[in-house]
């Protein structure tokens, strides 16, 4: 395995926390031809790594904003529960 594989695994785990399906480390990002991408970046502490790792969020969020509920008078039915 080795440290690079462990770091890659930890970065993959951060996708859920940062809600983004493509995270790229600073080292990998610096090798991209087009570094002028509009994106967010965060420095995170990864388990087993002593220094913070800068991650670039280049993908899309897993979860989008929740849908807006229709107004009550626009609902096609109503439900009532009695106990």
**In the prediction, which pLDDT does 64 show?**
67
In sequence order, the β-bridge partners of residue 42 are: 55
Cross-sheet strand order for the sheet of 40-44: 23-25, 53-57, 40-44
CA–CA distance, 24 with 38 (Å, rounded to integer): 13
User: How does pLDDT run across 5-64, given as a tens digit for each residue?
Assistant: 889 999 999 998 899 999 999 998 988 877 667 788 989 999 888 999 999 999 888 876
- Stated pTM of the model: 0.68
The pLDDT tens digits for 62-80 are 876 555 555 555 545 544 4
Q: Tell me what pLDDT residue 75 has.
A: 47
State the pLDDT at residue 9. Answer: 92
Tokens standing for residue 26: 């600073």
The total number of residues shown for the chain amounts to 83
d(CA 27, CA 80): 57
């Amino acid at each position: 395995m080795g440290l690079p594989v462990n770091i890659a695994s930890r970065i993959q785990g951060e996708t859920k926390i940062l809600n983004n399906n493509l995270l790229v480390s600073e080292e990998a990002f610096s090798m991209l031809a087009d570094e002028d991408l509009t994106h967010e970046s965060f420095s995170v502490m990864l388990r087993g790594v002593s220094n913070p790792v800068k991650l670039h969020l280049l993908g899309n969020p897993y979860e989008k904003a929740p849908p807006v509920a229709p107004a009550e008078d626009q609902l096609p039915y109503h439900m009532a529960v009695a106990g």
